Amino acid sequence: MSHLLTSATADRYAEAVHDTVEAIATRLRGIRQPFSGASRDELQSLVDAADLDGDGVGTRAAMAEIDEVFAANAVWFHDPGYLAHLNCPVALPAVAAEAVLAAINTSVDTYDQSTIGTLLERRLIDWTAGRIGFGADGASSASEADAAPAPDGVFTSGGTQSNLQALLLARESTLARIQAAATAASATASDADTDDASGTTDTRRPALLARMSILATENSHFSVQKSALLLGLADDAVVSVPTDAAGRLDPAALRASLAAVTATGRIPMAVVATAGTTDRGMIDPLAEIADAAHAAGAWMHVDAAYGCGLLVSREHRQLLAGVERADSVTVDYHKSFFQPVSSSALIVRDGRELARIAWHADYLNPLANAEPNQVDKSLQTTRRLDALKLWATLRALGADELGRMFDTTLATTQRVHARLSDDEELRLLSPTQLSTVIFRWQPEGVTDAEADRLVPLVRRVLFDAGRVLVAKTVIDGRPALKLTLLNPETSAEQVLGGLELVRAAAAALHDTGALDALDLNDAELDLAELDLADLNPEVAR
């Protein structure tokens, strides 16, 4: 009997998928909190109990086990009690498209493997570039449109990969520019040691890499630091630019930092601006950053992994003013476009830049091949057609509806901020332009040290109960709790109900009088033990 999906097994495929969909639908109907609250030891025992070397149990039994083991203990991002990270509930058309993706199993590396899939992805790249304002879409006149470079891009696994590829392009572009300038200078100079455009005689790759700098802020995504390591740059390659009081990159400080980098003989390779910082949800002043970056000859990259939903917003699109002047932009559809993971893209203002990282294999994408091969632009070779999920969503719902959904999350966040602005116990610590809430429990009389200690304890006790999941971070040097609201169907009242659980847990923990004795690693912290049993279990719903 065949165990592969073929024409001959189409009926069994339909049966297996139907049973699985019914099981998940049944599970969804019964969800009452975002996590089961099972301990790590309990979950590990479930995993260890499976015999991976024995005879198979059959598809139906295996999928039933997955439902009972995995789905029953998964974290459900759609639940109103899920308030922690940058995870969104997913659009129904995209989930349906996932079934098509898995069944056909297209790989979008060469055209002969994906055919129309390649064209679908390219159309979505062009659509996103137009929303950014790249190419003719961002031109103010016909002549400007004719002169604008054609944008391009590629889907990626996520914002980390998009940022890495953007900085790789920045590195290669900077190398090419400096080496071309040195070659031109040496061709016209009488002295063979004529300095290159950056004031040095050594334009070999290792020497230039050692001098390259990336300018970002402490609020930039950690993938910037990781990318610098992967790109072979110096340990101190990432220069931290000061921010304003709201955590946004300060343009005056950027200009000063660029001048300081150049004065020390370093090369400003790239400036990374963020359109939606992970913690504060703030957007850097993109137009002013573009002025400074381009004046210094640096590549400007905008990490809009979080704020990309503004591209389809009717109410807040102006927050991205200046993004069209970037050299590259990261877009995470699996955040504010409500797509299943993975769905991300890197969009480049001048598509010719992507050729700098193209490699050709005789068996796959020979140089003489004129077919539109996405592998020429991608860091990956084998790659899913994740673009199909976004295609299905746009065709089913329309871009305006996605924008309305994202705008709703921002409006909900502002209502929560307004309620917390005069709360004497849950103290709001930062404004936001998107959908985060940074706060901590610190009534009058509670010391900074006590409030610091309570942050991880509160998060842990709520996580262990599974009723409300919140995140923790550090703001201005002190621990803080964080909510990230990416569910347009979660109301402000439901969020505020979740905050009442936070308040009750913090007060109960504080009242133990033994905060220092509570061990996050060993103590079994239980809401029931903290005398919270009278709290309405539906308060966060």
C-alpha to C-alpha distance for 503 and 451, rounded to whole angstroms: 12
Q: Where in the chain is the domain with CATH 3.40.640.10?
A: 153-185+201-353
Can you give the pLDDT at residue 233? 98
Condensed to tens digits (0 to 9), the pLDDT of residues 63-91 reads: 999 999 999 999 999 999 999 999 999 99
Q: Is the pLDDT of residue 518 over 50?
A: yes
Architecture of domain 400-530: Alpha-Beta Complex (3.90)
Strands 478-484 and 436-441: antiparallel
Can you give the pLDDT at residue 262? 97
Can you give the pLDDT at residue 68? 97
Token pair, residue 11, equals: 């009926």
Can you give the pLDDT at residue 527? 47
Token pair, residue 538, equals: 């539906």
Condensed to tens digits (0 to 9), the pLDDT of residues 408-420 reads: 999 999 999 999 9
Instruction: Assign 191 a pLDDT band (cuts: 50, 70, 90).
Output: low
Instruction: Assign 539 a pLDDT band (cuts: 50, 70, 90).
Output: very low
User: pTM here?
Assistant: 0.93
Token pair, residue 237, equals: 């390659």
Range 375-382 average pLDDT? 94
Q: Is the pLDDT of residue 189 over 90?
A: no
Instruction: Assign 519 a pLDDT band (cuts: 50, 70, 90).
Output: low
Q: For the sheet containing 152-156, what is the strand order?
A: 152-156, 344-348, 328-332, 299-304, 267-274, 212-216, 238-240
Can you give the pLDDT at residue 531? 52
Percent of the chain topping pLDDT 90: 85
Q: Where in the chain is the domain with CATH 3.90.1150.170?
A: 400-530
Can you give the pLDDT at residue 503? 97
Q: Is the pLDDT of residue 250 over 80?
A: yes
Range 163-183 average pLDDT? 96
Question: What is the dihedral sign for C-alpha 267, 135, 380, 334?
Answer: positive
Strands 152-156 and 344-348: antiparallel
Can you give the pLDDT at residue 520? 65
Q: In 3-state terms, what secondary structure has residue 258?
A: helix
Can you give the pLDDT at residue 259? 98
Can you give the pLDDT at residue 146? 78
Which residues lie across from 436 on neighbouring strands?
484
Q: Is the pLDDT of residue 47 over 90?
A: yes
Q: Is the pLDDT of residue 536 over 50?
A: no
Condensed to tens digits (0 to 9), the pLDDT of residues 266-306 reads: 999 999 999 999 999 999 999 999 999 999 999 999 999 99
- For 538, what's the count of Cα atoms within 13 Å in the CB-facing half-sphere? 0
Q: Is the pLDDT of residue 524 over 70?
A: no
C-alpha to C-alpha distance for 454 and 498, rounded to whole angstroms: 17
Question: What is the dihedral sign for C-alpha 165, 167, 168, 174?
Answer: positive
C-alpha to C-alpha distance for 346 and 339, rounded to whole angstroms: 16
Can you give the pLDDT at residue 145? 75
Q: Is the pLDDT of residue 537 over 50?
A: no
Condensed to tens digits (0 to 9), the pLDDT of residues 312-340 reads: 999 999 999 999 999 999 999 999 999 99
Condensed to tens digits (0 to 9), the pLDDT of residues 486-517 reads: 999 999 999 999 999 999 999 999 998 767 76
Among the listed residues 223, 510, 513, the one whose alpha carbon sits nearest the alpha carbon of residue 344: 223
Q: Which residue bears the tokens 């601006």?
A: 273
Q: Which residue bears the tokens 């009926």?
A: 11
153-185+201-353 CATH choice from 3.40.640.10, 3.90.110.10, 2.30.29.30, 3.40.605.10: 3.40.640.10
